[in-house]
Amino acid sequence: MTETIAKATELDAMSIGEILEALPHRYPFLMIDRIVDIDTDESAVGIKNVTYNEPIFLGHFPGNPIFPGVLIIEGMAQTAGAIVIKHDADKGGKNIVLMLGVDKAKFRKPAGPGDKIEFHIAKIQRRRNVGRYQATAKVDGNIIAEAEITAMIVPAES
């Protein structure tokens, strides 16, 4: 299926097809549509286009849809995971990235249908298979959430 999805035209971006190759997540839990501004495994910006058709809005909250903060954190983690997998792809073997922890999480404003969430990720440090990332979520240039994400690269099970 991913062979039919076009590759990102820029070297510093990942299309949805490339994201699907890098991450094990699928609908309805894939929280990023595209990744841009990739600087190796140092930084990147993930994009999530929030629509009214998101299944979560059936219950969060009827008549007042708000994209859950925990899914914003997940979008941050998926963006970090995708750039790590892309950067490490030439090292051989199939790996996945697991979230180990979230620190200093703050939610400043809600996001909802029609918003384009940008997940800005910057590497704080990485030692062997564990990395720590500063993550900021923005809508229209305004910070809506921020956190520090710790993740570990592990071999994918066959």
Q: Which one from 25, 60, 87, 120 is the annotated catalytic residue?
A: 60
pTM: 0.90
State yes or no: is 60 an active-site residue.
yes
Task: Give the tokens for residue 101.
Answer: 């922890």
Q: Which of 102, 21, 43 is nearest to 69 (CA)?
A: 102
What is the Cα–Cα distance from 61 to 59, expressed in whole angstroms?
A: 5
- Cβ atoms of 117 and 138 within 8 Å: the answer is yes
- Cβ atoms of 90 and 144 within 8 Å: the answer is no
Q: Count of CB atoms within 10 A of residue 125's CB?
A: 9
Task: Give the tokens for residue 144.
Answer: 């809506």
Q: pLDDT tens, position by position, for the chain (158 residues)?
A: 444 344 444 568 999 999 999 999 999 999 999 999 999 889 999 999 999 999 999 999 999 999 999 999 999 999 999 999 988 876 767 889 999 999 999 999 999 999 999 999 999 999 999 999 999 999 999 999 999 999 999 998 85
Domains of the chain: 2-155 (3.10.129.10)
Three-state SS for 21-70 is HHCCCCCCCCCCCEEEEEECCCEEEEEEECCCCCHHHHCCCCCCCCCCHH
